[in-house]
Amino acid sequence: MTQPAASALFNLKTIYAEEAAAASARGQAILAQWPQAQVELVPSHWQIPALAQIPANAEAWAKIKREVLVLGIKKRPEVRVNGRSADYILSGASNGCALACVYCYVARRKGYANPITLFTNTEDALAAQVRHLARLGPKVPNQVDADCHVYEIGENGDLSVDALLTDVPEAMIAHFRLQPGAKATFATKFVNPALLGYDPQGKTRIRFSLMPAHVAKVVDVRTTPMAERIAAINDFVAAGYEVHLNFSPVIIYSGWTQDWAQLFAHLADVLSPAAKAQLAAEIIYLTHNAELHEINLQWHPKAEDLLWTPQWQETKQSQTGGINVRYRHGQKGRLVAELKRLLALHLPECRVRYAF
Ligand code: SF4
């Protein structure tokens, strides 16, 4: 597998940095990779006015992801209960992403731009995880995992992309190797072969995010093409990762069931016996958002033809006050049942961990 250079996704021209992050050893290592970038010190990595508050930035959504990076200190790394993709969420790796999936929920909270913010104090997050694990009793088996307490380490970004810029993902994977009864997990839409050398020893679960390829071409902007993501699964299993599948977001359009059936049948053809033996999946239907819809219309209106389908959707006020859009409640149960039926038919080795 060819190693992607950071230049495949980045041509950094501006790095906004909190002073402590820029001065840290990790920050210095990152800055040294981009000597041509202008460094602007900022009081806080969060809500940098030149990024978040300029409406015209929405038209340059993907360009900003290529040209801008933020370095910060995660003030209070925390562990929160999850119960779906993981038992717990460990914050502190990054926030924001150089990929540009049009439905990305991280972007909903980031105003008019969502480049990567890398946190340089990873060890504080890892210390928080160790303290948290020490308070837990033995794992009670659940849908997340039978044996380990599972920590999501990539909630607000894509660690395979972050690994092009920093050693944070490698440090986190190495950390979890030594955590008895605990395991890390993150979802990804980017194949970075550097991760094959991190020696996770089964203590990191990567969730490759998959959907029909022609839909991904429209909505998964800047990501690794679907065929390459699928082709990487066997290699990641062989390299010591547990690999699960993240069928997400499931988007409804005319002909969607045939496309998913084809995807499942293709996986059945190409996955190795070792990959199938450890396989499980999560299925997550699309949730969209009115504000993000408006931003997307400015830089990628074609994608909104797929995402914004009011004839099948209903609105709901989110906890933060935004208007979220999802498939109608009465219909949703039937949609979930249909996809699970197709998966059981074509790829019976793949257990569904949860679906909603
Ligand atoms: S890979 Fe994840 S975090 Fe990155 S843009 Fe896509 S959905 Fe958002």
Average pLDDT, rounded, for the chain: 94
The pLDDT score that the predictor gives to residue 321 is: 74
The pLDDT score that the predictor gives to residue 176 is: 98
The pLDDT score that the predictor gives to residue 5 is: 77
The pLDDT score that the predictor gives to residue 322 is: 77
- Domain extent, residue 163, equals 6-355
Q: Cβ(119)–Cβ(162) under 8 Å?
A: no
Q: Cβ(179)–Cβ(173) under 8 Å?
A: no
The pLDDT score that the predictor gives to residue 54 is: 84
- Residue 150 φ then ψ, to 5°: -105, 130
Instruction: Please indicate, yes or no, if residue 1 is contained in any of the structural domains.
Output: no
- Give residue-wise pLDDT tens across range 212-255: 999 999 999 999 999 999 999 999 999 999 999 999 999 999 99
Q: Which helix H or strand E contains 230, and what residues bound it? A: helix 226-238
Q: How far is the CA of 158 from the centre of ligand 1 (A)?
A: 6
Q: How many domains does the chain have?
A: 1
The protein residue whose alpha carbon is closest to atom 8 in ligand 1 is 104
| pLDDT at position 316 over 90 | no
Ligand 1 pocket test target in 153, 158, 210 with most atoms within 8 Å of CB: 158
Label the pairing between strands 313-317 and 323-327. antiparallel
Ligand 1 pocket test target in 114, 189, 191, 299 with most atoms within 8 Å of CB: 189
- Integer Cα distance of 330 and 322 in angstroms: 22
Name the more confident of 245 and 106: 245
| pLDDT at position 107 over 90 | no
Q: How far is the CA of 91 from the centre of ligand 1 (A)?
A: 16
- Tell me if 104 CB under 6 Å of ligand 1: yes
Nearest atom (ligand 1) to Cα of 157: 3
Mean pLDDT of 124-152: 97
Mean pLDDT of 4-20: 92
The CATH number of the domain holding residue 99 is 3.80.30.30
At 46, is the pLDDT very low, low, confident or very high (cuts 50, 70, 90)? confident
The pLDDT score that the predictor gives to residue 56 is: 87
The pLDDT score that the predictor gives to residue 3 is: 57
From residue 173, alpha-carbon distances to 16, 96, 159 in Å are 27, 20, 10
- Give residue-wise pLDDT tens across range 64-79: 999 999 999 999 999 9
The pLDDT score that the predictor gives to residue 329 is: 86
- Tell me if 158 CB under 6 Å of ligand 1: yes
Q: How far is the CA of 140 from the centre of ligand 1 (A)?
A: 31
- Give residue-wise pLDDT tens across range 14-44: 999 999 999 999 999 999 999 999 999 999 9
| pLDDT at position 301 over 60 | yes
Instruction: Please indicate, yes or no, if residue 341 is contained in any of the structural domains.
Output: yes
Name the more confident of 112 and 141: 141
